[in-house]
């Protein structure tokens, strides 16, 4: 005798599997911010960009809805922020290499992905530090919304570069001889 599964049993199984959730290990894409949004810095300067985030542990970034979580390695996320910073500095006429007296040490210290806009969008918020070669340490925050959680994370990485290069203390430091 042939047995037939009822559609309600199949629907129940799909629902249970869907609610079990899954986790995404995500590395955001690095895009340089629009150079027009960055203050002018005298061209020709050289600077070293250093990843100062020592931890390579996977941490919970946030909830992507429907039982999905997003995890990330903040050292790798910091690498992506440095890629965006490097591209932005090059667009402004600065040289990024390992042979300079000026340095910016960047460390993403926390990334949070949360629902926004009454659940219709996501917002990724990144807390980070910038240690300048003169010893100043800045605590900064960047965030970006999007209706796709991955785009919110990508946009927040771009905003890390933008927030860093729009900070008047960083601009002053980079402009010094």
| Residue pair 91/125 in contact by the 8 Å Cβ criterion | no
Asked, for residue 140, whether it belongs to a domain, the answer is: yes
Residue 14 has pLDDT above 80, yes or no: no
The whole-model pTM stands at 0.85
User: According to DSSP H, which parts of the chain are helical?
Assistant: 7-19, 74-91, 149-166, 168-175
* 115: containing domain: 22-175
Q: Which two tokens stand for residue 134?
A: 């003169």
- Number of domains making up the chain: 1
Count Cβ atoms below 10 Å from residue 54 Cβ, excluding itself. Answer: 10
Q: What is the pLDDT of residue 15?
A: 46
Residue 23: the pLDDT is 80
- Judge whether 78 lies within some domain: yes
The model's pLDDT over 63-117, given as tens digits with 9 standing for 90+, comes to 887 788 999 999 999 999 999 999 999 999 999 998 888 999 999 999 999 988 7
Judge whether 123 lies within some domain: yes
Helix, strand or coil for residue 4?
coil
The vertex-168 CA angle with 92 and 108, nearest 5°, equals 80
**The domain that contains 77 carries what CATH number?**
3.40.50.10610
pLDDT per position as a tens digit, 28-73: 999 999 999 999 999 988 999 999 999 999 999 998 877 889 999 9
How far apart are the C-alpha atoms of 67 and 20, rounded to whole Å?
Answer: 7
pLDDT tops 70 at residue 13: no
Tallying the residues shown for the chain, one arrives at 177
């Amino acid at each position: 005798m042939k047995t037939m599964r009822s559609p309600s049993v199949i629907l129940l199984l799909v629902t249970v599997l869907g609610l079990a959730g899954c986790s995404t290990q995500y590395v955001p894409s690095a895009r340089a911010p629009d150079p027009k949004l960055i203050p002018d810095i005298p061209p020709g300067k050289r600077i070293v960009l250093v990843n100062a985030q020592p931890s390579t542990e996977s941490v919970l970034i946030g909830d992507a809805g429907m039982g999905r979580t997003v995890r990330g390695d903040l050292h790798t996320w910091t690498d992506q922020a440095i890629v965006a910073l490097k591209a932005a500095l090059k667009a402004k006429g600065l040289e990024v290499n390992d042979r300079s007296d000026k340095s910016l040490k960047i460390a993403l210290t926390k990334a949070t992905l949360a629902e926004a806009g009454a659940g219709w969008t996501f917002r990724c918020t990144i807390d980070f530090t910038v240690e300048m070669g003169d010893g100043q340490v800045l605590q900064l925050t960047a965030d970006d919304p999007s209706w796709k959680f991955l785009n919110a994370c990508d946009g927040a990485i771009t905003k890390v570069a933008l927030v860093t290069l729009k900070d008047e203390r960083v601009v002053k430091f980079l402009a010094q001889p």
